[in-house]
Amino acid sequence: MDFLAGETILVDKPLGWTSFDVVNKVRWNLKQALGVKNIKVGHAGTLDPLASGLLILCTGKHTKTIDSIMIGEKTYTGTILLGKTTPSYDLETEYDAEYPVDHITKEAMDAAVIKLTGNIMQVPPIFSAKQIDGKRAYDLARAGKAVELKANAIEVEKFSIDVSRFPEIDFEITCSKGTYIRSIAYDFGAMLNSGGTLIRLRRTKSGNFDVEKAFTVDALLEVIQTTNSNY
């Protein structure tokens, strides 16, 4: 692999790592292996630390393709827990409210899925990187300040659910760039007159790229360690 000239690399990001953790780890190891002071490494779409799955890295001249890669649709699998909410809509923050779930029927869940499919308007979570007057929304939220975000137009091409583990709802979603799966979970619960929290998330596809063809971080580092600067 010619990392200096440019490569597009698929990585299966583990839970607990930020996207920048992966970028920094790869960049440091490349500099050591190639004996260079610097090398361009970037990622094409952030994954939260609580999410696993496909992270696309670009090195060298391939970093110029990042914007074109990011516009592709994404596919995620995960789990929504009905009956509870958190301020962040996921497990980054503690549960703050509980709601009944006994009234929820399969028909009601199917109807909510339909409402959340297609071209819809979505309000991002207040614990997000959206900017308000030059400040990140999550910084304002963590400081206890009121946060109001505008709805954005998104497209959910496919949304399917498996209710066999109710009140944990397993799902698969294919959606446009800019979609917050956490907001899907929250809105899904609200439409059922209950609450919804995203408790598991994994990105499986981004555009034409598939996590099944991705390196683990350790496997990628092994490849890098066998690389030298003799191109």
Tell how far CA 230 is from the center of its chain.
37
The angle, 0 to 180 degrees and rounded to 10, between the axes of the packed helices 106-115 and 181-191 is 130
107: phi then psi, degrees, rounded to nearest 5: -65, -40
Which position among 2, 12, 21, 48 bears the catalytic label? 48
Neighbours of 113 (CB within 10 A): 19
Number of Cβ within 10 Å of residue 146's Cβ equals 7
Distance CA 156, CA 78 (A): 15
187 is catalytic: no
CA-to-CA distance for 138 and 126, rounded, in angstroms?
A: 6
Residue 80's nearest CA partner among 220, 1, 183 is 183
Active site residues: 48
